[in-house]
Amino acid sequence: MTTSAQTPAHPAVEVRRSKRRRRTVSAYREGERIVVLVPASLSRREEAAWVETMVARVERAEARRRPTDEDLMERAAALSRAWLEGRAVPLTVRWVDNQRSRWGSCTPVDRSIRLSRRLQEMPGWVVDYVLVHELAHLIEAAHNPRFWAWVDRYPESERAKAWLEGYSCGARLEGAAD
């Protein structure tokens, strides 16, 4: 038996009851929701208590793994030094929730970089590629050969581009190449 719920305090939660499960309760992230596995024998009150406990546990674990805006700024500085001769110096680098068709964006005029929060679930080398891409815009604004020469200094560029293209195709995202 499966039930789903979403409240302002929690993300979408799916509870899966199992007659084979006797004592253990577990939870994990599956896309945009948290799945909680419980024994079928639990009462609704016990289930609710376990759901609250397990969602909090998953969210704490995720929060420990997700880099902050400050972490992003430090990472951007390190990547600029490593691959862009330290020439790309942003004033701000931050996560944003409003990018649905882009992985990142850069405004060279105010030297700001924004990365889609969707990237937080992706491998670090993919996030690094998007950061290098956006940092390169601080050196060369247009997607011209000089721009790509800067981006391609990052050794995982081709692999990351392919990974993002495959992800976008699988998720049916349009225009997520930038």
pLDDT in tens, 99-134: 878 999 999 999 999 999 989 888 889 999 999 999
Please indicate, yes or no, whether residues 162 and 79 belong to a single structural domain of this protein. yes
pLDDT reported for residue 122:
85
Task: Give residue-wise pLDDT tens across range 126-147.
Answer: 999 999 999 999 999 999 999 9
Note whether residue 47 is domain-resident.
Answer: yes
Q: Is the pLDDT of residue 9 over 60?
A: no
The angle subtended at Cα 75 by Cα 69 and Cα 81, nearest 5°, is: 140
The one-character DSSP state at 87 is: -
Task: Give residue-wise pLDDT tens across range 51-86.
Answer: 999 998 988 887 666 788 899 999 999 999 999 999
Please indicate, yes or no, whether residues 57 and 122 belong to a single structural domain of this protein. no
Please indicate, yes or no, whether residues 112 and 37 belong to a single structural domain of this protein. no
pTM listed for this prediction: 0.63
Which residue, among 119, 83, 126, has the nearest Cα to 99 in the 3D structure?
119
Note whether residue 176 is domain-resident.
Answer: no
Range of the domain at 137: 69-171
pLDDT reported for residue 120:
86
Please indicate, yes or no, whether residues 31 and 107 belong to a single structural domain of this protein. no
Q: Rounded to the nearest 5°, which phi and psi values hold at 149?
A: -65, -40
Last residue of a domain, one of 65, 92, 115: 65
What is the Cα–Cα distance from 142 to 168, expressed in whole angstroms?
Answer: 23
